[in-house]
Amino acid sequence: MHIGMVTAIYKPVVNGVTRMVELYREHLEAAGYEVTIFTLGAPDASDDDHIIRSPGFQVSDRGYYLTPGFSREAQKLMRQVDILHSHHLIMGVEMAHRYGRCPVIYTNHTRYDLYGNAILNLPQPAADAILRQLWPDFCDYADLVIAPSESVRQIMLDFGVRAPTITIENGVELQPFHQPPNPRRKADFGLPDTAVLLLYVGRLAAEKNLDGLIDQFAIAADVAPDLHLMLVGDGLSREMLVAQVNQLGLQDRVHFTGPVPVPEVPNYMAAADIFVTASVSEVHPLTVIEAMAAGLPVVAVSSPGISDSVASGRTGLLTTRPDGGLAAAMVGLALNPERRGQMSAAARADSDRYDIRRTVALTQEVYERLYAERPDLKRKQQHGRRYLYRQRVQSTLDRIFKPEEREHPLPNWLAPEFWLRDRRDQHDQWK
């Protein structure tokens, strides 16, 4: 069976989506499937014949692109695959529906309702209004929608998603975290063995609420003198966060490693005692699963995605109060090594359910069922019907925004004029 993975972003960018796509490819090919990745942007030196990139214009420093249509090469190949599995909403599932001639699956990796506020600086009511229209409409182009956690599936349903929706939890390679190939020690980072090391792994970005994490660490550090925080990763917020640390006088307690290659992450986790995050925008974060596999108790804000993985009081401590509660949880575990040990063992045991082999096996069952049933031949929206045609876009935008009531300027790509301007159709219509 030939599987097409459709993603708006791919390597060399490293994030949860690109890592899941790469894991899917590796394990599906090992199981005998042929996998082709359809993505956007300029060719990369690491690309092979099974990575097809279409031109697009870059819309952010995060590696994302937009395009009105995929290349002719991509269109031709997408018509030949047996299943198209999309990993993005805007530049993914509609493209798969437009060009494919097979069942379409969409996995939702993002809390779009929160990212509209965090990244686009839209007021939350405006972000919610957009998503109540776009999320259901774009999901309608899939024959099946996969949510990586049950709580995120419920959020999607609450936003009006109508397409058939199931939950398949994200998975990771457990072995490198169970047995790191080159485990680091605290001394490697200039820390004494008595230090209690908190670890964060991920992008240094606004939506991760790292400024709040540092503020909470500052409170905890006053109570627990051996407490240290290490931030593994890089991103647009690094300069701001370094300035915050300097202002708080925590230069000797907060450590920035910069970007670390993915294979090195298990080695860094081996030196840590507790994993921490203040983000509430996750759907089912891989780094939390990896931390559990490494035997790290998790201190975090109770939110969809994280609360599906971490059992508060057993494998970590979750707080509903980001201001104050996070610091209290840090101190509580830092000063209680016996409890940390108990949670460490429980976290490692609970991580077994997130073995990537289980995730891929469940997804394979979905592929085989849809390939046999071909539900795409029975739905009303036949292949090739575009979402972005004039009347439907105008109707959708009129429902979301009443021009005379706009209190906030829209990003260019959300403005009606962007989508409704005349442009030559770049694909062969389905006949």
Structure-model confidence comparison of residues 410 and 187, the more confident one: 187
Rounded Cα distance between 298 and 247, Å, is 27
Instruction: Average the pLDDT over 350-359 and give the result.
Output: 96
Is 113 contained in some domain? yes
Phi, psi of 227 (to 5 degrees): -80, 135
Asked if 329 and 215 sit in the same domain, the reply is yes
Asked if 61 and 198 sit in the same domain, the reply is no
- Give residue 425's pLDDT band: very low, low, confident or very high (50, 70, 90): very low
Instruction: Average the pLDDT over 84-109 and give the result.
Output: 94
Among the three residues 338, 354, 370, which one is the final residue of a domain in this structure?
A: 354
Each residue's pLDDT tens digit, 297-324: 999 999 988 999 999 999 999 999 888 8
pLDDT score, position 147 = 96
Rounded Cα distance between 207 and 262, Å, is 21
Q: Which of 112-116, 205-209, 326-330, 391-395 has the lowest mean pLDDT?
A: 391-395
3-class DSSP assignment, residue 152: helix
> The whole model's pTM is what?
0.85
Among the three residues 354, 373, 404, which one is the final residue of a domain in this structure?
A: 354
* Three-state SS letters, 362-421: HHHHHHHHHHHHCHHHCCCCCCCCCCCCHHHHHHHHHHHCCHHHCCCCCCHHHCHHHHHC
Is 95 contained in some domain? yes
Is 429 contained in some domain? no
Count of domains for the chain: 2
Give 206's Cβ-side CA count (13 Å radius).
9
Is 79 contained in some domain? yes
Instruction: Average the pLDDT over 57-69 and give the result.
Output: 79
Asked if 241 and 347 sit in the same domain, the reply is yes
* Residue-range definition of the domain harbouring residue 211: 175-354
Asked if 365 and 337 sit in the same domain, the reply is no
Asked if 135 and 180 sit in the same domain, the reply is no
Asked if 65 and 191 sit in the same domain, the reply is no
Cβ atoms of residues 199 and 268 within 8 Å: yes
Is 19 contained in some domain? yes
Asked if 236 and 327 sit in the same domain, the reply is yes
Percent of the chain with pLDDT over 90: 70
Among the three residues 313, 333, 354, which one is the final residue of a domain in this structure?
A: 354
Asked if 305 and 345 sit in the same domain, the reply is yes
Q: Token digits for 82?
A: 């047996």
Degrees to nearest 5, angle at CA 222 with 219 and 224: 105
Asked if 227 and 346 sit in the same domain, the reply is yes
Question: DSSP letters of 29-78?
Answer: HHTT-EEEEEEESS--TT--TTEEEE--EE-STTS-EE-SS--HHHHHHH
Is 427 contained in some domain? no
Average pLDDT of the chain to the nearest whole number: 88
Return all residues near 416 (Cβ < 8 A) that are at least 6 apart: 393, 394, 397, 401
Residue 315 belongs to domain with CATH number: 3.40.50.2000
Asked if 380 and 415 sit in the same domain, the reply is yes
- Give residue 90's pLDDT band: very low, low, confident or very high (50, 70, 90): confident
Sign of the C-alpha dihedral, residues 405, 408, 409, 411?
A: negative
- 428 has pLDDT over 80: no
- 106 has pLDDT over 60: yes
DSSP annotation of 314 reads T
Return all residues near 253 (Cβ < 8 A) that are at least 6 apart: 217, 221, 227, 228, 229
CB atoms within 10 A of CB 2: 14
Cα dist from 404 to 401, 408, 421, whole Å:
9, 11, 20
- 264 has pLDDT over 70: yes
CB atoms within 10 A of CB 208: 24
Strands (E), 72-127: 83-86, 104-107
DSSP annotation of 93 reads I
Asked if 205 and 334 sit in the same domain, the reply is yes
Is 179 contained in some domain? yes
**Element holding 97 (H helix, E strand):** helix 94-99
Measured N-to-C along each axis, helices 238-248 and 210-223 cross at an angle, to the nearest 10 degrees, of 20
Asked if 350 and 386 sit in the same domain, the reply is no
